[in-house]
Amino acid sequence: MQDIKSVIIGTGSYLPGTPVSNDKLAETVDTSHEWIVERTGIHQRYFAKKGQGTSDLATKAAQEALENANLQPNDIDLIIVATASPDNTFPACATRVQHKLGNTKGLAFDVAAVCAGYLLGLNVADSFLRLGKAKRALVIGAETISNLLDMEDRTTCVLFGDGAGAVVLEATEAKDNPQNRGLIGVDLESDGRYFDILHADGGPSSTGSVGKLRMTGQEVFKHAVTKLAKSAKTTLKKYKVSPDELDWLIPHQANARIIEGMRRKLDMDESKVIVTVAQHANTSAASIPLALHEAVKSGKVKEGDLILHEAIGGGLVWGSALLRF
Ligand code: UT7
């Protein structure tokens, strides 16, 4: 188990429809481009079209990741979808993605940790790969969170967007891994006392309906800044990495002010932080793999780069991940 690392060998992403500007939202809700930019850094977001499900976005991102890894769907034996907005209450969105991809082997399931879901997906996939229970995994963060938005609630509807990001992880033995690439470690925690500060006010065993996203923004903000910094420091200390050794901070994209706070706490140069929140808004579980893929596509992130991820979301669930890309 010690000799095997989970190496990212392909990335992909998908954004549905056309960008929706802040001004467009201001036509129907009492807000302004200036307020949204000043408080969040968000300029636009994408909303899935009617009939476009989370599995559609996830499948497109996964197809691109497979293509970039030079793999066929059946080369994959584990599919994990991190989502808070699945097509159906059950079965898992991942099984629908499995079918849409044309994958007929292995295991597909969802993980639920909302905005921290991608980190949980990475952690679970890594365990499967390192235990020899799978050889190649697709980890997909995908959301049509717009379906959970109350478009009359200006405190939440301007913050979120839809999208998907995917990575292919391959179990790689040390002898085939001279750069020592791969996932180094994930730190995740939850505290259910904060369930109510970020939740959907519905569900099968509560209201029988899907519900809408409700958030006490300021409370979440305060937890985000302290908990993310603590987790990042825990991870860096555990693996004896100092912030200046990091090539990239690729954080969850909820608010440019939270990202800036983290950058300062880690004392990292602005040029080492990947920020996509202006274009994508908060895409929940999709935000990190989306940002990663954009950074790979643009040539910023390269093989061998040392990356720190961090994320916090409903639960609360939060954490960080360290990897050599
Ligand atoms: O991904 C999961 C993690 N989520 C997060 O990390 C989100 C964390 N929270 C945040 O990012 C910020 O708290 C928000 C962006 C949600 C809000 O920013 P804020 O600086 O904390 O603003 P606030 O909630 O203190 O609101 C300030 C004012 C209020 O008016 P009053 O009471 O001062 O008169 C709000 O009613 O801004 C008002 N407001 C708005 N005004 C225009 C709230 N939303 C809007 C809006 N447009 N969309």
Residue 280 Cβ < 6 Å to ligand 1: no
C-alpha 117 – ligand 1 centre gap (Å): 23
Region class of 70: left (phi > 0), else alpha (psi between -120 and 50), else beta: left
Distance CA 54, CA 158 (A): 20
Domains for the chain: give ranges and CATH numbers. Answer: 4-176 (3.40.47.10), 182-324 (3.40.47.10)
Q: What is the pLDDT of residues 304-316, one digit of tens each?
A: 999 999 999 999 9
Output the pLDDT for position 186: 98
Distance CA 212, CA 139 (A): 26
Output the pLDDT for position 2: 59
Give pLDDT < 50 ranges for the chain: none
Mutate to test the pocket of ligand 1, among 20, 23, 31, 39 (most ligand atoms within 8 A of CB): 39
Rounded alpha-carbon distances, angstroms, from residue 168 to 135, 201, 282, 325? 10, 34, 23, 12
Helices (H), the chain: 22-26, 33-40, 54-68, 93-101, 117-130, 154-157, 217-238, 256-266, 277-280, 287-297
Residue 40 Cβ < 6 Å to ligand 1: yes
Q: What is the pLDDT of residues 141-169, one digit of tens each?
A: 999 999 999 999 999 999 999 999 999 99
Q: How far is CA 212 from the centre of its chain?
A: 20
Cβ-Cβ contacts under 8 Å for 101 (sequence gap 6 or more): 59, 62, 63, 66, 73, 76, 79
Cβ-Cβ contacts under 8 Å for 90 (sequence gap 6 or more): none
Mutate to test the pocket of ligand 1, among 155, 160, 216 (most ligand atoms within 8 A of CB): 155
For residue 48, give the nearest of 211, 185, 190, 162 by alpha carbon. Answer: 162
Catalytic residue among 115, 123, 280, 309: 115
| Cα radius of gyration rounded to whole Å, the chain | 18
C-beta separation of 83 from 58 below 8 A: yes
Which tokens go with 139? Answer: 């980890």
The single residue listed with the structure tokens 């996203």 is: 213
C-beta separation of 318 from 189 below 8 A: yes
Give the largest CA-CA distance in the chain.
59
For 79, list phi and psi in degrees, rounded to 5.
-125, 120
For residue 288, give the nearest of 297, 272, 277 by alpha carbon. Answer: 277
Q: Check if 177 is active-site.
A: no
Residue 286 Cβ < 6 Å to ligand 1: no
Q: Check if 157 is active-site.
A: no
For residue 286, give the nearest of 130, 154, 133, 167 by alpha carbon. Answer: 167
Distance CA 167, CA 139 (A): 5
C-alpha 224 – ligand 1 centre gap (Å): 14
Q: What is the pLDDT of residues 113-127, one digit of tens each?
A: 999 999 999 999 999
Q: Check if 223 is active-site.
A: no
Distance CA 225, CA 281 (A): 18
Residue 109 Cβ < 6 Å to ligand 1: no
Output the pLDDT for position 42: 98
